[in-house]
Amino acid sequence: MSKTTQLDTFNNSHFKTGAPVLKRVFWYIVNTLFFNSFIHSYALKSFFLRLFGAKVGKGVLIKPHVNIKYPWKLEIGNHVWIGEEVWIDNLDYVKIGDNVCISQGALLLCGNHSFTSPQFDLMTGPIVLEEGVWIGAKSLVGPNVTCGSHSVLSVMSVASKNLEPYKIYRGNPAQVVKDRIIK
């Protein structure tokens, strides 16, 4: 087998969204009106996420112009901050721990396509952001990545492999630049 066996590979026609068409249509409307717009009500956004199946903790702040693909594949811990223009493209499960900051324009990308397949089969994998993680502005976290507790992914960096706890990463691909010391 190839190195991509860590990812679940689907012939594009076999991918499961995890929800019926009507639910996806209603979510698209709610996402467009309340998340991917200028509306600032954090409580309302959390309410809608829960309504559509997300697990959402207390004190979650979701800024304007956020796009969430499938809330039923999303878990958000307590006191999480999600910045403007974040895109959670969760074709697979995304778990965001307590006290996480996802900065402006960051992308959590759970899917990719197989360049070895003539049909470009979809490959998906989960993302886990453990407690205290900070994802910098315009950064990307790819499928099957766990960002360890209190790790930092610096501005415009790409995490295609797991990040170790209490380390600061920068670049594409992200490399450790120093330890994160919290005083």
Global pTM reads 0.91
Amino acid at 148: G
Domains in the chain, CATH or no CATH each: 20-177 (2.160.10.10)
Place of tokens 């706890």: 165
Residue 35 in contact with residue 52, Cβ under 8 Å?
Answer: no
How many C-beta atoms surround the C-beta of residue 151 within 10 A?
25
The contacts of residue 139 (CB under 8 Å, 6+ apart) are 103, 106, 107, 153, 154, 155, 156, 157, 158, 159
pLDDT tens per residue across all 183 residues of the chain = 334 445 566 666 667 889 999 999 999 999 998 888 878 899 999 999 999 999 999 999 999 999 999 999 999 999 999 999 999 999 999 999 999 999 999 999 999 888 888 888 888 999 999 999 999 999 999 999 999 999 999 999 999 999 999 999 999 999 999 999 999
Residue 123 in contact with residue 104, Cβ under 8 Å?
Answer: no
